[in-house]
Amino acid sequence: MLNKRSFGSNSCKETDTRCYDDTKRNYEYRKERNCEENTDDDDNDTSLLNETRNEVIRIMEPCTVERCLEAIPSFSEYDILVRTEAVALSGSDLHYYETGGKSYPGMTLGHDATGIVQEVGCSITKIRPGDRVVLESGLACGICDYCKKGCYNICNNLIFNGFLRKYQVHPADLCHKIPDDVDTIEATLTQTLALGCQACFKAQILPTTNVLVIGAGSTAISTALCARAIGAGNICVASTLKEPLETIEKTFNFNCLHYEADMQYCTILECLYSVLHDWPDAVINCAVSEKTMNLSVMALKPCGVCVLAECDAECACFNAMDVLMKNLKLIPSFRSINMFPTALHLIEDGKAPIGRLIANIFQWQEVEHAFRKALHESNVGNRKVIVRCAEPEEDETFKKEDCKT
């Protein structure tokens, strides 16, 4: 009988405890000794904090960040213990920050993260303590019908592991080694780039493909970067958002098309043709709405493909007759499947300088300021805010000019 995967549980047999590093046993010994030596509760709490440094970010009330102290998690023979290095604040984090977490008390924050391996379970052979890893945060059950088909991104029991904490336990098979030439700060955006990679592969982009990317967010940028890395013939990024488009054009040197929301379709299509000098073979829609769907259907060549990557609206009415008569394919691209290695490869080779999206890096003590800044960026632009959870070394300052180009 199949059982669900156990994440973060202490399932190793007693005889396997020798596989764990001495650090865990030393920690337990020091904690007991501190409790015996310190009689004052406040002193005990301070000592425990100094020993574990396992602070956790909680948001129970809207726009109120709290730092709590938790024990170091235990883990199974297939898990690893990670010391979090950096976290890129994502849309789910900001939604939680705005609304508060009382409705979702078990949810953990920080899903785009990198870390350094501290300990490994008994059965882990490919990852060692000291390895730098980027973490795929979605935890699939592994036994539902979708997981068996390889579609773990739509697992019936999918949950997310958060890394806005000093230490976290995670399944080793969802941890990807960061290449030596890639900075851990830039690697936090691996998930962002993976979304773009999957959208491009769904569209089956080739060097002869003309690509229209609709949207001006981080997913649209990562999609355009991946299409360029593949060698797509012509790429155009179109959006109604003027300032984010200007950032894309200046930072990544893409051909961009700004159009007004109330502009006539014929006018938009004329402008699009003047940029691409042809009609697109593929449209990757990162801002699905009625306007963008009709624009996609009208612009595509016959037998073209439209990938739906992100939504601006839940419902969108478009011309189904054009889809049928032009034999168009509409393909969804939701989350990502096995795209982290590809994304890391593109970053390492300098073909996808996703680190240029980073707007600010905040230290752990500045996490509340980081949330406010990230919320501002999400409202006005497309850049990312990073929280550095570990103390930086003197020579480890991240600079955007050091990104792979």
* 318 pLDDT more than 80: yes
Alpha helices in 300-390 (DSSP H): 320-325, 340-348, 367-380
pTM summary value: 0.84
Q: Output the six-digit token pair for 306.
A: 């439209």
DSSP secondary structure, 136-150, as one string: E-EE--S-SHHHHTT
36-45, 111-120, 219-228, 249-258: least confidently modelled range:
36-45
Q: Which residue has the higher pLDDT, 129 or 47?
A: 129
DSSP secondary structure, 18-41, as one string: GGS-HHHHHHHHHHHHHHHH--SH
Q: Which residue has the higher pLDDT, 70 or 134?
A: 134
Domains defined along the chain, listed by start: 1-176 (3.90.180.10), 178-405 (3.40.50.720)
Express as a percent the part of the chain with pLDDT over 70: 83
Beta bridge partners of 159: 139
Contact yes or no for 177/347 (Cβ under 8 A): no
Closest Cα partner for 239 from 251, 226, 255? 255
Task: Report the sign of the C-alpha dihedral through residues 41, 47, 48, 53, in that order.
Answer: positive
**Residue 101 has what pLDDT?**
74
**Residue 371 has what pLDDT?**
95
DSSP secondary structure, 280-317, as one string: -SEEEESSBSHHHHHHHHHHSPTT-EEEE--BSSS---
Burial class (CB in 10 A: 0-12, 13-18, 19+), 225: buried
Beta bridge partners of 88: 112, 386
State the CB neighbour count (10 A cutoff) for residue 279: 17
Q: Output the six-digit token pair for 100.
A: 């508060």
pLDDT tens-digit profile of 364-381?
999 999 999 999 998 888
Please report how many Cα atoms fall inside a 13 Å half-sphere around the Cα of residue 271, on the Cβ side. Answer: 17
Task: Report the sign of the C-alpha dihedral through residues 312, 284, 381, 87, in that order.
Answer: positive
Task: Grade residue 48 by pLDDT with cuts at 50, 70 and 90.
Answer: very low
Task: Grade residue 195 by pLDDT with cuts at 50, 70 and 90.
Answer: very high
Contact yes or no for 339/138 (Cβ under 8 A): no
